[in-house]
Amino acid sequence: MTGSQDNIRLAISLRDGSLEKSVLFSLSQITSLPQDVTSVPRSSDLMTDAELQLTEDYDATALLEMLAAKKITAAELLSAFRKRATIAQQCTNCLTELLPEAIYDAEACDQHLAMTGRLMGPLHGIPLSLKNQIGVKSHLTNAGFVTWINNTSKDDAAIVKTFRKLGAVVFARTNQPQAGMHLETSNNIYGTTVNPRNRQLTAGGSTGGEAALMGMNASVLGIGGDIGGSIRQPAAHNGLYGFVPSPDRFSGIGVTVPTPGHDSIAGTLGPFARSLRDIELFCKAYSSTLPWIEDVSLIPGSIFSSSMGRQLDETRPLKVGLLLDDGVVSPLPPVRAVLQKVADKLRQAIDVQVTTFSPMDHAKGWEIIAANYFEDGGANIRAICEKGGEAVLPLTEWIINECQKGRKSVASSPEGLKEARDAYRQAYSDHWNQFDVDVVLAPIYPSVAGPHGATRYWGYTSIWNLLQYPAVAMPAAKLVGGVSTAELRGEYTPKNDLEKHYWEIYSAEDAEGLPIGIQVVGKRYHERMVLQASKTIEKALLAK
């Protein structure tokens, strides 16, 4: 359709026009980009040392302290991140736009501080980036579909309103895949977002634009969405922290999804961050606004309320259950090596007690969640693609097919699918309760980031979406000091086709230095426990 092509050109031109002009590459710069682009912001000589430092060296909490102490201004902080985001876009194709109004918002922060001596709010001047589907007033929101390119958001999404009120400077929107249902990031509008550490590899998804932007140190705090791994997996592929609470914690008002009314499996928004304390900052600031007054679908209480769920007993060690292998796809050598190092470190920590946590039929868990994803079997997704005159991408076909397969094997009626879901949830809870653990520590993905289009397994993340258990993703490889070449070349004997696929696309050479994540999982609505446990675990991993 010519109309579609025009719309795509419009979307791309809007994005390109929004970039920071001073750091646009020349043609020769573009064509000579290295495979690993993480150093390009530095090597391109387009940013000052101060700007490089501001964007690389601090987490949001540290930046807040500098802003409060007037060591930096919100305007100069934003300027640095706008430049770096523009460079990140040219390196990884991660953006859908930069928001020009951010410049005024940053200036407003500076003026407010200068005139009143007080911060605009608990996130005063902190640049914040968003997955594209999160609406921004008067901006177009396509959520990865061609037919929605001209959809204007009439209002800010509720979470955007909230973070603006908190003083954050919402400055960038980032790419997501068609239907939001790939653990990669490719669509027919902007094309494919690539991994900053190796452009031949996926950045992960579905919040892959966000993760690549943060992986380039071109944002310090971001918001993504996760219904099967879409925050944790790209966080893992890019060395980031990410947080997925139980559902009904963050407002989804004003967030565009292709499947409204499909509530059998709930997704949720959640933050990407550079530190655990930034996740805590993000959530506490959000809860402080009492968002449940406006959004009646939310649990009306603070995310980290000490009145929710079981509390940690600080007079005894943290009880961590290690889930090393989900029994469906065994982790590949680098993931196994990192898990081994994590386990060793935890066993040395006096305030941690480690046990083995055995999974409960995760193959069935995948069948059930896949079957329940699309309550119409994927018909609506296909219809949206057709309306936009765009191809249903192979990874979209793949997940629709997994849904259809699941429906065949799980139940024939919608009610039957939900009964199976509820029975599995209760059985898994019973199973979990037998282990006497506070949290479970598990891989996020069986391998490192793979080549584009090759993602075939969501099970390590989607299992917790099915159960609605909150999880914190942490950059484990970085925390334990990485793995050696020998460990990357470890043995692996595929025991099924899925493992064979992952072994075939695995390259020990490419895996060198790639991030690897782990997740700390707690029971439903035990966000407080998950965060506290993550801190204890991180301390143990960083111990000499």
Report, as residue numbers or ranges, the catalytic residues.
Answer: 131, 206, 230
**310 burial via Cβ count (<10 Å: 0-12, 13-18, 19+):** exposed
**Binding marks (x or -) toward its own copies, 260..279, rule CB under 8 A?**
xxxx----------------
Q: Shortest approach of its own copies to residue 260 CB, angstroms?
A: 5
Which 504-523 positions form the footprint of its own copies (CB under 8 A)?
Answer: 523
Residue 467 touching its own copies (CB under 8 A): yes
Instruction: Compare residues 218 and 437 and give the one whose CB is closer to its own copies.
Output: 437
| Shortest reach from residue 42's CB to its own copies, in Å | 47
| Interface pick for its own copies out of 368, 418, 440, 458 (rule CB under 8 A) | 418
Pairwise CA distance, residues 53 & 441, whole Å: 33
Among 295, 361, 397, 512, binds its own copies (CB under 8 A): 295
453 torsion bin: left (phi>0), alpha (psi -120 to 50), beta (else): left
Question: Residue 259 or 447: which CB sits closer to its own copies?
Answer: 259
Q: How does DSSP classify residue 273?
A: E
Task: Name the token pair of 315.
Answer: 């007079």
**Angle, in degrees to the nearest 10, between helices 394-410 and 379-387:** 160
Q: 3-class secondary structure for 400-451?
A: HHHHHHHHHHHCCCHHHHHHHHHHHHHHHHHHHHCCCCCEEEEECCCCCCCE
Q: How many residues bind its own copies (CB under 8 A)?
A: 44
Complex with its own copies: residue 296 or 350, whichever CB lies closer: 296
Q: Where are the beta strands (DSSP E) in 38-155?
A: 95-98, 127-131
Contact between 259 and its own copies (CB under 8 A)? yes
- Per CB under 8 A, the list member of 386, 416, 481, 489 interacting with its own copies is 416
Q: Which is nearer to its own copies, 34 or 416 (CB)?
A: 416
Mention every residue, 6+ apart, whose C-beta is less than 8 A from residue 282.
60, 123, 221, 243, 271, 273
Q: Which residue from 70, 118, 310, 495 is in contact with its own copies, where contact means CB under 8 A?
A: 310
- Smaller CB distance to its own copies: residue 82 or 523? 523
**Cα–Cα distance, 506 to 511 (Å, whole number):** 8
Long-range contacts of 29-34, Cβ-Cβ distance < 8 Å, separation of 24 or more: 29/90, 30/90, 33/90, 33/91, 33/199
Is residue 419 involved in binding its own copies (CB under 8 A)?
yes
Binds its own copies by CB under 8 A, chosen from 319, 382, 405, 425? 425
Q: Can you tell me the distance from the alpha carbon of 424 to that of 462, in angstroms, rounded to the nearest whole number? A: 13
Q: How far apart are CA 330 and CA 520, in angstroms?
A: 18
Q: Is the CB of 42 or the CB of 382 nearer to its own copies? A: 382
Residue whose structure tokens are 């896949």: 370
Q: Which is nearer to its own copies, 81 or 373 (CB)?
A: 373
The minimum distance between CB 242 and its own copies, in angstroms, equals 23
- Select from 309, 377, 389, 513 the one that contacts its own copies (CB under 8 A): 309
The residue from 10, 33, 292, 387 that contacts its own copies (CB under 8 A) is 292
- Taking CB atoms within 8 Å and a gap of at least 24, the contacts of 290-294 are 291/158, 291/159, 291/162, 291/250, 291/251, 294/158, 294/251, 294/253
Q: Residue 412, interface with its own copies (CB under 8 A)?
A: no
**Looking at this protein, which amino acid is placed at residue 302?**
S
Q: Which stretch binds its own copies (CB under 8 A): 20-28, 332-340, 391-399, 415-423?
A: 415-423
Residue of 36, 56, 101, 376 interacting with its own copies (CB under 8 A): 376
Where on the chain is the footprint of its own copies (CB under 8 A)? 253, 259-263, 290, 292-297, 299-302, 305-310, 375-376, 380, 413-419, 422, 425-426, 428-429, 433, 467, 523-526
